[in-house]
């Protein structure tokens, strides 16, 4: 967006006696993407811009077109007209990026390479150092507010304890930035979901990339589909449940099935070592940390299974799925789904919320601290 402003592709334009501020012509932008090596061809450029439309980053100036068309139509970045949806998750992410940029641009930064248990970690800092810096720079009014900010950054996956064993505290515990905001990113990363290399080369990318062709293994379970159908994954990707169900149809059911009986047959035993109550999860000082996961579903689904009730837990995670890429793990407890508190619900209800919700799923989970 900023590069397009600098190149004067984004500017006020007049059409049918009306002036549209800060917009661009779709056809001109597709040309620009190819000229600047952001897309190898027009088809890829269109797919990239459609991704941005799907994620509410750009839109048609009159919202008359839901698709990105390679034509003389006017589109605009939502940040340029104030319609960009600033959810809590986006605000925390942007705050983390702002703090990171500020930290790396100063001399004698608290971000350093440090060692713990003979392992070196990049972009690390002590919790108390970060608290001192936040208060000193006016990023927080007091130490309590600074701790709350640090906890929000950890719960959203922006910082973490170097061995992922502690929440954020005002102490000499060692933390690190999990995302390298300075890494040069190309738009085509948005389409690299079928590239296994993208995962290994970009461990700190904020994009939830998916390895679509993992090594075949016996990890049978249903995957919730984004088109509200329950699809049986083919044997190439995972061992097929159709053979277990005695059904040659590629779909187990044309409508959402919330009970998922084939899954129970394949993996009936709970992965939890012992039952956990809501009171235990929420009690002060409980050894659990809350994390926010943003999971972008792909053509197969989100790639995880919820079981239990009051609270529900994650029973299985596809190691090559979007949920795994976003940091979901077996035995996490589901705290909220798309902003709705769900600790008091059973897994059928939570499954229904996921199936009928948007493709981009925001979940808060509670994970035991080892």
The yes-or-no verdict on residue 210 having pLDDT over 70 is: no
Residue 268 banded pLDDT, cuts 50, 70, 90? low
Asked if residue 170 and residue 96 are part of one domain, the reply reads yes
pLDDT recorded at residue 117: 84
- Tokens for 258, please give them: 């919330």
End-of-domain residue from the set 120, 147, 177: 177
- Tell whether 169 and 146 lie within a shared domain: yes
**Separation of CA 137 from chain center:** 29
Residue 158: which of 291, 318, 282 has the closest Cα? 291
Phi, psi for residue 63 in degrees, rounded to 5 = 55, 35
Report the pLDDT averaged over residues 193-203.
40
- The answer to whether residues 296 and 315 belong to one domain is yes
- Residue 347 located in a structural domain: yes
Angle at 327 between CA 325 and CA 330, to 5 degrees: 110
218 within domain boundaries? no
This prediction has a pTM of 0.48
Spatial CB neighbours of 195, under 8 Å, sequence gap ≥ 6: 209, 211
Q: What pLDDT is stored for residue 205 in this prediction?
A: 37
The answer on 351 and 283 residing in a single domain is yes
Question: Do 51 and 99 sit in the same domain of this protein?
Answer: no
Whether 214 is covered by a domain: the verdict is no
The answer to whether residues 37 and 102 belong to one domain is no
Q: What was the pLDDT predicted at 250? A: 31
Residue 105 and residue 33 in one domain? no
Q: Please check the confidence at residue 203 and state whether its pLDDT lies above 70.
A: no
Q: Which domain holds residue 14?
A: 1-77
- pLDDT at position 126 over 90: yes
Can you read off the two tokens belonging to residue 357?
Answer: 């919700």
The DSSP-derived string for 236-284 is TTS--SHHHHT--SSEEESS--SS-HHHHHHS-S-S-SS---HHHHHST
**Same domain, yes or no, for 5 and 40?**
yes
Domain boundary among 53, 77, 101: 77
Q: How confident is the model at residue 211 (pLDDT cuts 50, 70, 90)?
A: very low
What share of the chain in percent tops pLDDT 90? 41
Q: pLDDT grade, residue 104 (50/70/90)?
A: confident
Among 22, 54, 77, residue at a domain's last position? 77
Beta strand pairing call for 119-126 and 18-25: unpaired
Q: Is the pLDDT of residue 116 over 50?
A: yes
Biggest CA-to-CA distance, the chain: 69
The reply to whether 300 falls in a domain is yes
Q: Is residue 273 part of a domain?
A: no
Same domain, yes or no: 7 and 28: yes
SS3 329: coil
Domain assignment present for residue 110? The answer is yes
Asked if the model's pLDDT at residue 197 lies above 60, the reply is no
Kindly report, residue by residue over 152-185, the tens digit of the pLDDT: 999 988 999 998 889 999 999 999 998 877 776 7
Per-residue pLDDT of 294-311, as tens digits, reads 998 877 788 899 999 889
Together in a domain, 61 and 115? no
For 133-138, what is the mean pLDDT? 94
Q: What confidence tens digit (pLDDT) does each residue in 11-51 have?
A: 999 888 888 999 999 999 999 999 988 899 999 999 999 99
* pLDDT digit string, tens, across residues 310-349: 899 999 998 888 898 899 999 999 999 988 889 988 888 8
Contact 368, 335 (CB under 8 A): no
Instruction: Please provide the average confidence, as pLDDT, over all residues in the chain.
Output: 78
Residue 258: per-residue pLDDT: 34
Name 346's bridge partners: 309
CA-to-CA distance for 294 and 362, rounded, in angstroms? 5
Q: With bands split at pLDDT 50, 70 and 90, how would you rate the model's confidence at 56? A: confident
* Same domain assignment for residues 173 and 92: yes
Kindly report which listed range (59-63, 142-146, 205-209) carries the lowest average pLDDT score. 205-209
Asked if residue 357 is part of any domain, the answer here is yes
303 found inside a domain: yes
Based on the domain organization, do 344 and 323 belong to the same domain? yes
- We report the CATH number of the domain holding residue 38 as 1.10.10.10
pLDDT at 128: 96
Q: Tokens standing for 169?
A: 């505290």
In the predicted structure, residue 266 carries a pLDDT above the cut 50: no
Q: What does DSSP say about strands 230-231 and 223-224: parallel, antiparallel, or unpaired?
A: antiparallel
Q: How many domains does the chain have?
A: 3
């Amino acid at each position: 967006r900023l590069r397009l402003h600098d190149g004067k592709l984004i500017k006020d334009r007049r059409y049918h006696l009306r002036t549209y501020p800060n917009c661009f012509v779709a056809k001109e932008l597709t040309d620009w993407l190819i000229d600047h090596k952001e897309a190898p061809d027009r088809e890829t450029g269109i797919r990239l811009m459609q991704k941005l439309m799907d994620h509410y980053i750009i839109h048609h100036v009159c919202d008359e077109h839901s698709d990105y068309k390679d034509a003389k139509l006017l589109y605009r970045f939502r940040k340029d007209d104030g319609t960009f949806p600033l959810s809590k998750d986006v605000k925390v992410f942007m705050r983390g990026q702002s703090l990171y940029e500020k930290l790396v641009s100063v001399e004698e930064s608290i971000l350093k390479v440090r060692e713990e248990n003979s392992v070196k970690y990049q972009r690390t800092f002590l919790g108390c150092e970060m608290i001192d810096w936040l208060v000193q720079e006016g990023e927080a009014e007091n130490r309590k507010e600074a701790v709350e900010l640090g906890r929000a950054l950890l719960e959203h996956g922006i910082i973490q304890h170097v061995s992922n064993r502690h929440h954020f505290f005002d102490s000499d515990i060692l933390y690190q930035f999990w995302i390298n905001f300075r890494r040069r990113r190309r738009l085509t990363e948005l389409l690299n979901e079928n590239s296994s290399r993208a995962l290994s080369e970009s461990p700190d990318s904020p994009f939830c990339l998916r390895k679509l062709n993992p090594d075949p293994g016996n990890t049978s379970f249903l995957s919730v589909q984004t088109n509200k159908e329950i699809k049986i994954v083919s044997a190439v990707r995972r061992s097929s449940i159709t053979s277990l169900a005695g059904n040659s149809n590629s779909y187990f059911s044309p409508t959402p099935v919330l009970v998922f009986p084939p899954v129970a047959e394949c993996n009936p035993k709970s992965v939890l070592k012992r039952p956990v109550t809501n009171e235990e999860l929420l009690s002060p000082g409980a050894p659990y940390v809350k994390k926010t996961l943003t999971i972008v579903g792909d053509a197969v689904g989100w790639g995880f299974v919820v079981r239990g009730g009051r609270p529900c837990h994650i029973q299985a995670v596809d190691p090559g799925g979007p949920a795994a890429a976003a940091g979901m793990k077996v035995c996490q407890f589901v705290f909220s789904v798309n902003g709705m508190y769900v600790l008091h619900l059973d897994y059928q209800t939570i499954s229904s919320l996921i199936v009928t919700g948007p493709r981009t799923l925001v979940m808060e989970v509670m994970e035991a601290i080892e």
